[in-house]
Amino acid sequence: MGSFKNLNYGPFRENIRLFLQEFAEKFEDNTVPGWGHHFVSKRKYHLIIPEVDYWKKPLKDNFLDVRTHILYGLIHCNGYGHLICINGVEAASNFLSETDAMNLWDRICSTLCTRKVSVRDEINLRLLYVVGYGQSWYGKWGYKFSHGTFGVRKGKYESAVEYLRSLNLDKIISDFKNKSKGRRIKQIIIKYRGVVDIPLITLSDLLKFMLGFGGRARVQGKTENKVVKSSCQHVLKRRDNEEPISFDALVTSIANSCRWPARRVEHVLKQIVNLLKQNKGDCDGNYGVSRYEMREELRKCVGDTGLIDFVLKSVTCFAIGNYVVRRSVNSSTRRFEFSIQEVLEEAEPDCRWPEERVEHASEVTANILTENSDEENTMPWRELQDKARECLGETQLNDCVEHSMDNPMIRNQSISRTKNPPTKKVELPIQGLIKDAQNDTVECNVAEDALYLYRSVLFGYGDTHRVSLATKAIMVSKYFVKEWCFKERNLDPLIALSCLFLPSFDELETELMRPLSPAVVVVVHPSSTIGELKVVAQAAFMDTYCIMDKFVASQIGGLKKIDENKVVCHSIEPSSPVWVRGSGLDLGTTLRYEDGAQRLTVDCCCGAKFDDGERLATCEVCNVSQHTRCSGIADKEDAPSDFLCSDCVAVSRRK
71-76 vs 80-86, strand pairing mode: antiparallel
Averaged over 306-329, what is the pLDDT? 85
Of 245, 193, 616, 626, whose CA–CA distance to 444 is shortest?
A: 193
DSSP 204-215: HHHHHHHTTS-S
* pLDDT for residue 360 is more than 80: no
162, 166, 167, 171: CA torsion to nearest 10: -150
Of 568, 486, 484, 483, whose CA–CA distance to 11 is shortest?
A: 486
- What count of other Cβ atoms lies within 10 Å of the Cβ of residue 178? 7
* pLDDT for residue 528 is more than 90: yes
Beta bridge partners of 30: none
* pLDDT for residue 73 is more than 70: yes
The beta strand positions in 347-467, using DSSP E, are 378-380, 409-410, 413-415, 418-419, 426-431, 441-444
DSSP 36-89: TTSBPBS-EEEEEE--GGGTTSPPPTTGGG----SEEEEEETTSEEEEEEE---
C-alpha 178: how far from its chain's center? 34
Q: What stretch of H or E contains 305? A: helix 305-314
Q: What is the pLDDT of residue 201?
A: 92
% of the chain at pLDDT higher than 90? 24
* pLDDT for residue 409 is more than 50: no
Residues 6+ apart with CB under 8 A from 458: 127, 131, 164, 467, 471
pLDDT in tens, 551-590: 999 999 988 899 999 999 888 887 788 999 999 998 888 7
For 171, which DSSP code?
H
3 state SS for 488-514: HHHCCCCEEEEEEECCCHHHHHHCCCC
- What count of other Cβ atoms lies within 10 Å of the Cβ of residue 526? 13
> How far is 23 from 26, CA to CA, in rounded Å?
10
Is-same-fold flag (495-583; 600-654)?
no
The mean pLDDT value of the chain amounts to: 77
The domain 495-583 is placed in CATH, from the list 2.115.10, 3.40.190, 3.10.20, 1.10.3470, at 3.10.20
pLDDT in tens, 336-357: 788 888 764 443 445 566 766 7
Averaged over 126-147, what is the pLDDT? 92
Of 423, 544, 561, 626, whose CA–CA distance to 80 is shortest?
A: 544
Alpha carbon of 378 to those of 241, 401, 429, 439: distances in Å? 30, 18, 4, 21
> How far is 70 from 43, CA to CA, in rounded Å?
23
- Split at pLDDT 50, 70, 90, the class of 595 is confident
3 state SS for 521-568: EEEECCCCEHHHHHHHHHHHHHHHEHHHCCCEEEEECCCCCCCCCCEH
Cβ–Cβ under 8 Å, residues 639 and 628: yes
- Split at pLDDT 50, 70, 90, the class of 489 is very low
Q: What is the pLDDT of residue 223?
A: 37
Cβ–Cβ under 8 Å, residues 315 and 308: no
> How far is 397 from 520, CA to CA, in rounded Å?
86
3 state SS for 390-420: HHHCCHHHHHHHHHCCCCCEECCEEECCEEC
351, 355, 358, 363: CA torsion to nearest 10: 160
> 287-307: buried (b, 16+ CB within 10 Å) or exposed (e) per residue?
bbbbbbebbebbeeebeeeeb
The domain ranges of the chain are: 33-115, 124-132+147-216+444-482, 245-342, 495-583, 600-654
Beta bridge partners of 579: 500
245-246 vs 317-320, strand pairing mode: parallel
> How far is 49 from 52, CA to CA, in rounded Å?
9
323-329 vs 317-320, strand pairing mode: antiparallel
Cβ–Cβ under 8 Å, residues 199 and 205: yes
The beta strand positions in 169-252, using DSSP E, are 217-220, 227-228, 245-246
> How far is 550 from 559, CA to CA, in rounded Å?
23
Q: What is the pLDDT of residue 332?
A: 60
Q: In what order do the strands lie in the sheet with 116-120?
A: 44-49, 71-76, 80-86, 116-120, 479-483, 144-147
Residue 16 has, within 13 A of its CA and on its CB side, a CA count of: 23
The domain 600-654 is placed in CATH, from the list 3.30.40.10, 2.60.200.30, 1.10.510.10, 1.10.10.10, at 3.30.40.10
pLDDT in tens, 611-648: 777 888 888 888 888 888 888 888 778 888 888 888 88
User: What's the whole-model pTM score?
Assistant: 0.60
Long-range contacts of 560-566 (CB under 8 A, 24+ apart): 562/530, 563/530, 564/529, 564/530, 564/531, 564/534, 565/529, 565/530, 565/531, 566/529, 566/530
